[in-house]
Each structure stands twice: as C-alpha cells, then as structure tokens.
Structure 1
C-alpha cells in the first residue's frame, strides 16, 4: 500500500450545511448563487462566470472594501453532480502559481451536507494562510445562505 505524501502546502476545511448536496452543489455551480457567498468578509464579489463541466472554467472578480481588486480563474477537471468538484485555481496576478481545489458534498441526514474542501499545491505557507482566511470567510457566508 502506498501512502500519498504531500510535497507542497495544502489546507482542508469541513463544514456541515443545512441543505441537501444538490442545493450546495448548485450554490457552487450557479453564477448568481456563487456571487452571493463567494469571498471573505470585507470583500464584494462583482463578477462570476461558471461553466461547470470537465474542461469548462470559472472566473470570479472580487473587490475589497479598500478598493483592491482580485481575480481568480480555474478549469474543472472533475464534475460529479451533487457529489464532487475538482478545479485548478490561479490568481491573475500570479498565473504561474496554479493550485488545485477539491470539494466534496456528502449527505448528512435528511437535509444536511458535509462539505469538505481540500486546497492543494499551494505555493507556500503564506498562501496557505491567505487561502485559509478566504475559504473560511467564504464558507461562513455559504453556511449563512442556508441558515
């Protein structure tokens, strides 16, 4: 048996959401819904495009309350409706730093979902810290969407 050894920094976050896997999956793949929760506190999501199919892409433009603009893009490598999304992740300011995000949606009771987000191949520990802040804030907004 071979164990997978992480060679680059990564982060994992789990959340229980009061929504079905289908509802949570839709919140990740419908641009209008994604715009409502994506981005941490003090960030407004201004533009979202999503083509949630293998080979399709996404683009999100956010603006901090300081006025600073952020844009992230990626391409979907795995899409299993209501179960899993896997996509590349890169900021337009550092396109050479491509990382990978996997999100799984597991049923929990009649109307709950355990969401597990794994963000791998991050550039360094500073990137882990920044992305942990971003994902934690985003998932708190997603949780509130289904409260």
Structure 2
C-alpha cells in the first residue's frame, strides 16, 4: 500500500513602497534583516542574524521573546537567488523537532505597474499540518508588517 506525503502550504501577496532592489537587500543583508525579522517588535527581537548570501549558503535567525527570554532559531540554506527578483530557501526550526522541518520558501519580487512599489509573492510549502501553516501565516504576516515599517525609514 502506497502512502502519500500530505503537506500544507501558504501564499502571501504584499506590496511595498520600495524598489525590488531595496526589498531584496532587506532580506539578504544581515544588518537590515535583524532590524525587521520578527512577528512583532513589541514582543520579540531578532538577536542573531547570520546570512551567507549565495546559493547553498546558509542562514541562522534567532528571534527572542522579550517577556520569557525563549529563543526561536530558524535555520536553512538558499536554493535559488536571482538578485532583486527571487529568493528561495529551506526553512527549519532548530531544536524544535515537532515544528516545521525541511520546509521551503520562495519570494518573488516584481516592480509594480506604477514603478515606485514592489509586489511580493511569498510561498511557504511542505508545512506539516494546518496548525503549522496557520502559525507560520501569522508569523510571516507579522514579519512583513515589520518590513513595511523598516522600508519606510
């Protein structure tokens, strides 16, 4: 009897008041990413951000809960990089084996028709279940809200 590997995915569309280059750099520059990569600046901070911006290069992101001190560490590597256009990477939670492991994210950036904005399509696939999908959707949405604020500065 064959078994099927069912997985969940999510897609988020966002428009940023920035060029594709600015949005791409906010993702790939560790100093910038550390400033915005948390679901909420009110309750969390990005305390570590290491990025090797190359295909097969790795990243480590540590987000800390300001109230409890608990760390959430995301790790992975880049599978595709097209400057100012596309970023693809694996996503796993370190030290949390029951959470998302070996999932995949893709970011596609295109200039908006008006020319002064960037449309982003973010896709996260291979999530283990609907709870993980919903939790990640909430987390990514919060991060993208923080990215809007970061790009406005």
- Whether the TM-score (by the shorter chain) exceeds 0.5 is yes
Q: Secondary structure at the match of 2:8?
A: coil
Match of residue 80 from structure 1: 82
Give structure 1 regions of 4+ aligned residues with deviation exceeding 3 angstroms.
Answer: none
Q: How many residues align?
A: 142
Q: Secondary structure at the match of 1:89?
A: strand
TM norm structure 2: 0.88
Answering whether residue 110 of structure 2 is matched by residue 106 of structure 1, we say yes
RMSD of the alignment, in Å? Answer: 1.5
Give the whole-Å Cα distance in 2 for the aligned partners of 1:46 and 1:25: 21
Could you tell me which runs of 5 or more consecutive residues in structure 1 were left unpaired when the two chains were aligned: 1-5
Query: 1:123 aligned to 128, 136, 139, which one?
Result: 128
Stretch of structure 1 that moved more, 129-138 or 88-97: 88-97
TM superposition shift of 1:7: 4.0
Could you tell me which runs of 5 or more consecutive residues in structure 2 were left unpaired when the two chains were aligned: none
TM norm structure 1: 0.92
Match of residue 141 from structure 2: 136
TM superposition shift of 1:73: 0.4
Could you report, residue by residue, the CA deviation over 1:85-104 in whole angstroms, capped at 9, with x for unpaired residues?
00000000235821000001
Answering whether residue 18 of structure 2 is matched by residue 19 of structure 1, we say yes
Give the whole-Å Cα distance in 2 for the aligned partners of 1:40 and 1:140: 8
1:32-51 paired onto structure 2 within 5 Å? 32-41=31-40, 42-51=43-52
